[in-house]
Structure 1
Amino acid sequence: MAKKTDEGVGIDVKWSWQGISGKIRSRLTSALDRRAAASIDQTGLDVERQVAVHRALTESKLALIAASTKALQKEIQNNPELARRALNVLSRAEREEDNIQASLGLAIEDLQNRENTGEGSNDGPDQLNPDFLNRWEHYASGATTETLREKWGRVLASEIRVPGSVSLKTLRVIDEIELPTALLFQRLCGRRLGNYVPELTAGIDQYEKVQLTEAGLLLQSEFPRTITFGEGEKADGTSWWMLESNGVGIAVRKDPLPAIADQAKFSIAPIRVREGALVLNVLVFTEAGRALASIQNYSEESSFRALAEAIQQGSGTEAAEVLKHVGDNSWSSADESATKALGTGGDA
């Protein structure tokens, strides 16, 4: 039976709130209350999902079912087809409720197991937008497989972390994405840096790029979109190019420039020098792409290591190295103890 907690919420969630900010806690519990959620034990989520529908039905729903059954009782006795249809409706409603509760349980798991900090996590309202929840419930009700339930659970968790990050349009795009496209995008996200992916490491061909663009996940552009590296110096006084994202970065040697970096005046090579600066061609996510990318597991450091390896081709390991932020404007090699003071890059 659901009970009031010291948070003033009509649920009993038996898991640690450690690391969960007040804002995120409030949004989660508002979503749970909306679903008339029952007690969810972190150690028994599978069992809870199996029986959640029976405990999640509110008194009003039970009363409605009872009243409807009474009104139809006489008609059902003389109309087997009507009885069959009524049972189908109730069975479908039960399955949909089960799907929603299962997706909700997986959203809780995601909030517990993945980082809940970041830009916007402590901003915005204390409760989720009702319109968003209405649409989310509609899509989650059709999540008949564990894969789909996990997807919608992560979508809800993403919106709880940063309200407004998943628009109603984005929900529709995510719902309409076919499995091959979703798998392709998931592979692409394994090399993302923030909200973009370097062309050098994207690992997709032109046809696949068009496929993701037409699916509404990548921005369309006649010319390559680019990111510009910043400038900085190593401790020994040598000049390097620098690009960073979320506390991890890459330093690229300026002299001699890596062989892969094109210096032709009108070049559109994946990495090149343009007007005295090093620029990198990137594939940029749309709003829907950003939302879908946010629910994918990936490692920023792994993405930078892949980029460093691509730049080192033909020039050796000294051409580029991965760095980690150690405070102020100082960066330390991810593999060595040497410290750099480097500038940061930005959008071109």
Structure 2
Amino acid sequence: MGNDLVPPEGGGFLDQLNLPKIVAGPAGEAISRLIGGAVDIPAAWLAQVAQGVKDRTEAKSVVSKAVADAAANLARNDPEVVQRAAHSLLAKELRHQTNREAIARKAIEHLGEEPIEQTTKPDDDWLNVFERYAEDASSERLQDVWGRIFAGELRRPKTFSLRTLRFVAELDEHVVALFEKWSPRVINADFIAFPPQGGNDFTELLQLQDCGLITGATGSLSKSFDAGNVPNGEILNFGFRFKKHMLIMQACAPCNLQVQNVLLTTIGREIFQITRTPGAPEPVKEFADRLPKHNVLKISFYPLDGGPTEQLWSKPEEPSPAQQLPTAS
């Protein structure tokens, strides 16, 4: 059996972790379920599992008995088949267990990054689907994705739909890397402004659209930002939130801003919440440069994690009447 199937030496799962207090309570129950009992499992849940095993053991249907008899005959005639089957089952379960514990570690790390007062246990249907998909994640990148999803769901149930879980189960690392690359350009966790219409960037957006993360890459979608029913001359502020920056546009009514864009799908919006690429000022400044400037007074931005506000653009001052008069020759 390969070394990758042998559990590491040393203590148990908990001995290798410094668990934050947040893992107590509902989160601890969910994590214990994922890793199969390394921490306290609620007695009621354990009793249900035990009863289910007992029920299956005691079931004596005609079909199951016939299958059991056939298997016994096969074992007597060819014991090597049984040995290979046992080896295959053990190898598979060890891989699944290794993957589940790696994901549990990732989830605990992410819970510790942003402490919160309490967590909530996801419902059983969600956990069933999550466990089934997550145990097949063997790469470190995908294990990290599943760990972030698990931590996000513990923080706020219903954050990730079952559709998104199914989607992530079929993700490959190329798509994950591509979506991470574009995530700093996402605005208000909803859209990417002024998408390219050709070249390699356009091809990448088509790939994200084919995967179901965005829509509108081949169309001409636009978002409208207006002042509503406010008097002309009223000073207005429009906010555009990026990953780590907020852009503020100050304008004078009337103002109707049209921004070409591609939209994140429901799945794209959910997955965007767990992207790890750090925010950058360059996409914010590029967006500010391309914004229509009709009736705009100034555009500025500031880091969401603290820092000074930087003015990116301001309306040029109009010359006074005296400055407009031609000079005498």
Q: TM-score range by the shorter chain?
A: 0.5 to 0.7
SS of aligned partner of 2:262 = strand
The counterpart of 1:228, out of the listed 215, 225, 230, is 225
Q: State the alpha-carbon separation in 2 of the partners of residues 282 and 178 from structure 1.
A: 26
- After alignment, is 83-92 or 282-291 more displaced? 282-291
Q: Which residue of 2 aligns with 1:242?
A: 238
SS of aligned partner of 1:249 = strand
Give 1:160 deviation, angstroms.
1.4
Give per-residue Cα distances to partners, 1:272-317, cap 9 Å, x unaligned.
x9x73223333322221122211112455x35x53224434799xx
1:158 equivalent in alignment to 2:152: yes
Q: State the alpha-carbon separation in 2 of the partners of residues 89 and 142 from structure 1.
A: 14
Q: Aligned pair in 2 of structure 1 residues 38, 76: CA closer, same or farther (>3 Å)?
A: farther
Give 1:95 deviation, angstroms.
1.4
Q: Aligned pair in 2 of structure 1 residues 191, 116: CA closer, same or farther (>3 Å)?
A: farther
Q: State the alpha-carbon separation in 1 of the partners of residues 77 and 224 from structure 2.
A: 71
1:93 equivalent in alignment to 2:112: no
Give 1:78 deviation, angstroms.
5.5
Q: RCO greater where, 1 or 2, for CA within 8 Å and sep 6 or more? A: 1
The counterpart of 1:127, out of the listed 121, 137, 140, is 121
Q: Which residue of 2 aligns with 1:32?
A: 31
Q: State the alpha-carbon separation in 2 of the partners of residues 79 and 248 from structure 1.
A: 65
The counterpart of 2:285, out of the listed 300, 308, 311, is 308
What amino acid is aligned across from residue 207 of structure 2 in structure 1?
Answer: Q
Aligned residues of 2:245 and 2:304 also touching (Cα < 8 A): yes
Q: Aligned pair in 2 of structure 1 residues 88, 12: CA closer, same or farther (>3 Å)?
A: closer
TM superposition outliers: structure 1 runs of 4+ over 6 Å: 10-13, 58-63, 201-204
What amino acid is aligned across from residue 28 of structure 1 in structure 2?
Answer: A
Give 1:163 deviation, angstroms.
0.9
- Taking structure 2 as the reference length, what is the TM-score of the superposition? 0.63
Aligned residues of 2:193 and 2:261 also touching (Cα < 8 A): yes
Higher helix share: 2
Q: Return 5+ residue gaps in structure 2 as ranges.
A: 1-10, 41-48, 55-67, 312-329
Give 1:238 deviation, angstroms.
11
The counterpart of 1:16, out of the listed 7, 17, 20, is 20
- Taking structure 1 as the reference length, what is the TM-score of the superposition? 0.60
Q: Aligned pair in 2 of structure 1 residues 295, 282: CA closer, same or farther (>3 Å)?
A: same
Aligned residues of 2:187 and 2:241 also touching (Cα < 8 A): yes
What amino acid is aligned across from residue 208 of structure 2 in structure 1?
Answer: L
User: Percentage identity across aligned positions?
Assistant: 21
The counterpart of 1:287, out of the listed 257, 262, 266, is 266
Matches within 5 A, 1:193-204: 193-200=187-194
Q: State the alpha-carbon separation in 2 of the partners of residues 314 and 151 from structure 1.
A: 34
Aligned residues: 264
Aligned residues of 1:99 and 1:140 also touching (Cα < 8 A): yes
Aligned residues of 2:107 and 2:148 also touching (Cα < 8 A): yes
Give 1:89 deviation, angstroms.
0.9
What amino acid is aligned across from residue 247 of structure 2 in structure 1?
Answer: I
Matches within 5 A, 1:7-86: 14-17=18-21, 20=22, 26-34=25-33, 35-38=35-38, 75=75, 79-86=79-86
Q: Return 5+ residue gaps in structure 1 as ranges.
A: 3-9, 41-57, 232-236, 256-272, 337-348
What amino acid is aligned across from residue 225 of structure 2 in structure 1?
Answer: T
Q: State the alpha-carbon separation in 1 of the partners of residues 99 and 15 from structure 2.
A: 19
Q: Which residue of 2 aligns with 1:146?
A: 140
Aligned residues of 1:99 and 1:143 also touching (Cα < 8 A): yes
1:210 equivalent in alignment to 2:185: no
Q: Aligned pair in 2 of structure 1 residues 238, 62: CA closer, same or farther (>3 Å)?
A: closer
What amino acid is aligned across from residue 288 of structure 2 in structure 1?
Answer: I
Give per-residue Cα distances to partners, 1:207-232, cap 9 Å, x unaligned.
3323212211113485414152669x
Give 1:149 deviation, angstroms.
1.4
Q: Aligned pair in 2 of structure 1 residues 104, 277: CA closer, same or farther (>3 Å)?
A: same
What amino acid is aligned across from residue 89 of structure 1 in structure 2?
Answer: L
